[in-house]
Structure 1
């Protein structure tokens, strides 16, 4: 379990799972893999009747977003983002890391049928970014780590907003209200833990959480939003305990399974000239994130009159930008949602996410290693 709580091993596992999915989809076993992905499981006629791919993207990933939301709640109330002053610099850098990739993507993809993919290159994978930082960043100043963590969390907030606002279809507001009420009940119950009957309350909380997820799914809003709402609603202490308990499962099972499923893309099916979606994402993730984050961070430090001794050097900002270009989990989800109506373009978008993330990963490894050596020499 300790290995699965580390920053390095889960990142390697996630990359290996994505590679396995891509390889599997291009072997003689591909038909069997795709068939398994479309097998329906659950209770027919209810929100619990989904195929395997949907259970992974809508169900398992909701647990991942619950864990992320618990961390977000902690950072907003007791962590690095607890004051507006602390959050301003990474917030401006995060805004640059969203706006510039969108602009680059649209330059490449418009006009055409790929314009819907503009949210895809805006995300940062926290697990991967921190994993690369842990592997190559020995000796980096703590300020850069804090900056990157805040940046990645703010990126997640933006991704969550995109999912909630852009990819809700035929919303059933009655079911959405039911889901919100159940989330509120879940939050109230979490504040009753610690006294008599805590075990019974915990069991009821799990039932309420599953019911809230089903209600949000039935409402037409993407079900991962239920995980976000539950993570923000839970009381902090039981939330952190739940996060600690779920972290190995998220790192060791949920994220690798999602990466494997999302990367099941048959390359021959997207041959014959890749679409603008592929090229837009491939360029926007590594280039857009570096230019956007480093440029906005540099401008923000001067506009906010951050003392010279406390500023991040341009090299450190470039390292943060390269790490920010590792999209993977949330970018893969956004690609699947953005091109749900055009599966072929969606497959190309997934390849763009994988390619752009790998390029960013390599760039980040090089730049972070360089900056770490620089800071070690300076410290010596």
Structure 2
């Protein structure tokens, strides 16, 4: 297996870095350092001559995270056109499993936290953190067949698409249609410039693309649509060859700086000094829905998908492998943290408890998936040894 010389391009080290950053944010939020760091995160930085005036925390979650979504969108496009989802036969099984991995966690959440004060959090446990899931698979899955990784990758990509739709549709507010229309014009210009860059390779074209990309982000942010959607739109329309180069260039920065920064800021919450019975239903709903809802939904819907798969579809995965994929799917983290911030933006107390639910639920799923994946990998290694 080829190992990248840069650990930030791998799967294991970025996952560990993300976990450490979140742990550090949670730790410092509950020490005497809280007020000083909170003051920095709440410091506002405005762009002269524009309506953009965001706190440092929002520059990270709305600005830097848009770069992460740009990279995600580039990967989405590749998988939809040349990868694991480039035909209905390939996509149908992970699509049905992904539907279960969304619907069952929503049902579990609503069962536990469906009252009027916390019902808005139902999208939070629907996400899968692809970086974390693949990192755990790489750490503990030596010996698993490649089909498990392919299935998990396709499942997580479909989850990303659903999460992006939720962010774009559910959390838009006071949409300024003129600004949004101008953003669409900029996206079209970006599309044209990316093809010109592919044809000419001229540096000035790349500079123009960067400028148009920043303007697009600013227009989307000002329009009332969440700013990260700008990154999604730009990544989806970029010409394939320049897109691949951009993804390769940005990957270390995204894995080594942007995602850890976001994890630190998102996890910077004060643990409430209350008994477990006094915690918000949102906390319990997310804590249970992520590890339990995901593993049940993905396993059962995946099993059904394997029974009805069309001719020419990839071979059926054993049910135990589907359970392993379901456990990995419960690691919500990055997108779930963003959804928690958006769902409870108007209530800081519930928002912080929802974030704690994401962190603990993802941690439970991480431990559970590590155990299940290790057991399955060990079984495959023993089978292979016996066959030899």
Shorter-normalised TM range: over 0.9
Cα separation, 1, equivalents of 2:314 and 2:163: 33
Q: Deviations over 1:225-267 (max 9, x none)?
A: 0000000010011001100000000000000000000001011
Three-state SS of the structure 1 residue aligned to 2:244 is helix
What does residue 355 of structure 1 align with?
Answer: 360
Asked if the contact 2:89/2:310 (under 8 Å) is kept, the reply is no
What does residue 375 of structure 1 align with?
Answer: 380
Deviation at 1:306, TM superposition (A): 7.1
Choose the corresponding residue for 2:331, options 326, 336, 343: 326
Deviation at 1:47, TM superposition (A): 4.0
Q: Does 1:275 align with 2:265?
A: no
- Which stretches in structure 1 are left out of the alignment for 5+ residues? none
Q: Does 1:297 align with 2:302?
A: yes
Q: Deviations over 1:49-79 (max 9, x none)?
A: 2110110110010000000000000001111
Q: Does 1:98 align with 2:126?
A: no
TM-score (norm 1): 0.97
CA-based RMSD? 1.6
Cα separation, 2, equivalents of 1:14 and 1:246: 17
What does residue 162 of structure 2 align with?
Answer: 158
- Which stretches in structure 2 are left out of the alignment for 5+ residues? none
What does residue 138 of structure 1 align with?
Answer: 142
What does residue 343 of structure 1 align with?
Answer: 348
Deviation at 1:194, TM superposition (A): 4.1
Cα separation, 2, equivalents of 1:78 and 1:197: 23
Three-state SS of the structure 1 residue aligned to 2:186 is helix
Cα separation, 1, equivalents of 2:310 and 2:164: 31
Closer, same or farther in 2 for the Cα pair 1:197/1:36, shift >3 Å? same
Cα separation, 1, equivalents of 2:297 and 2:202: 47
Cα separation, 1, equivalents of 2:319 and 2:200: 55
Cα separation, 1, equivalents of 2:143 and 2:124: 32
TM-score (norm 2): 0.95
What does residue 217 of structure 1 align with?
Answer: 221
Asked if the contact 2:198/2:239 (under 8 Å) is kept, the reply is no
Asked if the contact 2:46/2:54 (under 8 Å) is kept, the reply is yes
Three-state SS of the structure 2 residue aligned to 1:268 is coil
Three-state SS of the structure 2 residue aligned to 1:191 is helix
Deviation at 1:84, TM superposition (A): 0.9
Deviation at 1:46, TM superposition (A): 2.0
Cα separation, 2, equivalents of 1:166 and 1:350: 18
Deviation at 1:375, TM superposition (A): 1.1
Asked if the contact 1:26/1:267 (under 8 Å) is kept, the reply is yes
Cα separation, 2, equivalents of 1:125 and 1:270: 29
Cα separation, 2, equivalents of 1:307 and 1:245: 36
Asked if the contact 1:270/1:347 (under 8 Å) is kept, the reply is no
Q: Deviations over 1:344-375 (max 9, x none)?
A: 00000000000000000000100000110111
Cα separation, 2, equivalents of 1:197 and 1:371: 47
Q: Does 1:80 align with 2:84?
A: yes
Choose the corresponding residue for 1:148, options 148, 152, 173: 152
What does residue 4 of structure 1 align with?
Answer: 8
Structural mapping, 1:189-208, within 5 Å: 189-196=193-200, 198-208=202-212
Aligned pair count?
Answer: 380
Choose the corresponding residue for 1:173, options 165, 168, 177: 177
